[in-house]
Amino acid sequence: MKVLVSVKRVVDYNVRIQVKPDGSGVMTEGVKMSMNPFDEIAMEEAVRLREKGKVTEIVAVTVGGAKCEETLRTALAFGADRAVHVKEEGEVQPLTVAKALAAVFKKEDARLFLLGKQAIDDDANQTGQMVAGLLELPQATFASRIELDGTGAKVTREVDAGLETLEVDLPAVVTTDLRLNEPRYLKLPDIMKAKKKPIEAVTLAELGVTPGAALKTLKTVPPPKRSKGVMLKTVDELVSALKAKGLV
């Protein structure tokens, strides 16, 4: 079974982001970039499924500029057999990304599409669902457990009410949540081998994708600072204050 895993290059989760004072966005120049942590979980899951014998080929894909090749090399070091780089510089919004990924999924004739539930930069949480909608495939989002058998998958999802289990026919789209697995450490020999694995470059045009109308970002600001509240003197005052706000 072939699995397609989509990965995204984002600002590393350890970096304290700075908002540019002119409101034009977040400082990303010179800042450390890494694979989106939820996509690492998707890569890890694909590799575990292969170790269990359920999956035979793993293809990694990314949509982004030239520097995104680093992220594909990381995916190859994880264990992807080969990678596809949909080359497009600049911001690409989820709908366009989804159209590109849908085209790649069809071209690869894969059975399972794994990706993170959201990217930690734009926090959109849309791409996986959009690919499923475009291809009219089943979707199982926020997965915390995946069981594959030949024709279908049983996926447990983290929802507000608890853990929901769905059965989906393959091919299907599954987006990963935090508790699905803990990604392994990349081994130096695998990083070395990844340099030699093949990466195929394609453009949006070659995939037959025209970017859709995009959201325009008018300005970006830091969140409002919390200000100092009220200092109370007794427990009774606190209890009244909380009751007044309907919190207790």
**112-131 residues near other proteins, rule: CB under 8 A:** 120-131
Can you tell me which of 90, 150, 198, 228 binds other proteins, judged by CB under 8 A? Answer: 228
- Which residues, other chains included, contact 122 with Cβ-Cβ below 8 Å and sequence gap of 6+? 94
- Compute the distance between CA of residue 119 and CA of residue 39 in angstroms, rounded to an integer: 8
Asked if residue 216 binds other proteins (CB under 8 A), the reply is: yes
Asked if 199 is part of the footprint of other proteins (rule: CB under 8 A), the reply reads no
Residue 241 as a binder of other proteins (CB under 8 A): the answer is yes
The helix (H) or strand (E) run that includes residue 63 is: strand 57-64
Contact between 236 and other proteins by CB under 8 A: the answer reads yes
Measured between alpha carbons, how far is residue 40 from residues 19, 97, 209 in Å?
26, 18, 26
Binding mask 70-89 toward other proteins (x if CB under 8 A, else -) reads --------------------
Asked if the peptide bond before residue 171 counts as cis, ω within 30 degrees of 0, the response is yes
Binds other proteins by CB under 8 A, chosen from 43, 46, 68, 132: 132
DSSP structure string for 111-147: SEEEEES--TTT----HHHHHHHHHT--EEEEEEEEE
* Cβ at position 50, least distance to other proteins in Å: 17
| Closer by beta carbon to other proteins, 205 or else 221 | 221
In the complex, the smallest distance separating the C-beta of residue 69 from other proteins, rounded to whole angstroms, is 13
What is the x/- site pattern for other proteins, positions 34-73, by CB under 8 A?
A: ----------------------------------------
The C-alpha atoms of residue 38 and residue 127 are separated, in whole angstroms, by: 13
Select the residue interacting with other proteins from 95, 103, 146, 174 (CB under 8 A): 95
Residue whose CB is less far from other proteins, 77 or 86: 77
Q: Which helix (H) or strand (E) holds 88?
A: none
Work out whether 187 is an interface residue with other proteins (CB under 8 A): yes
Q: Which is nearer to other proteins, 200 or 237 (CB)?
A: 237
Nearest to 85 by CA among 1, 75, 192: 75
Give me the least distance between CB of 75 and other proteins, in Å please: 16
Stretch binding other proteins (CB under 8 A), from 35-43, 46-54, 103-111, 213-221:
213-221
* CA distances for 10 relative to 67, 122, 149, angstroms: 11, 9, 33
Nearer to other proteins, 57 or 147 (CB): 147
User: 31: Cβ–Cβ under 8 A, 6 or more apart, which residues?
Assistant: 11, 12, 15, 17
Binding segment for other proteins among 35-43, 50-58, 161-169, 197-205 (CB under 8 A)?
161-169
What DSSP state is assigned to residue 196? T
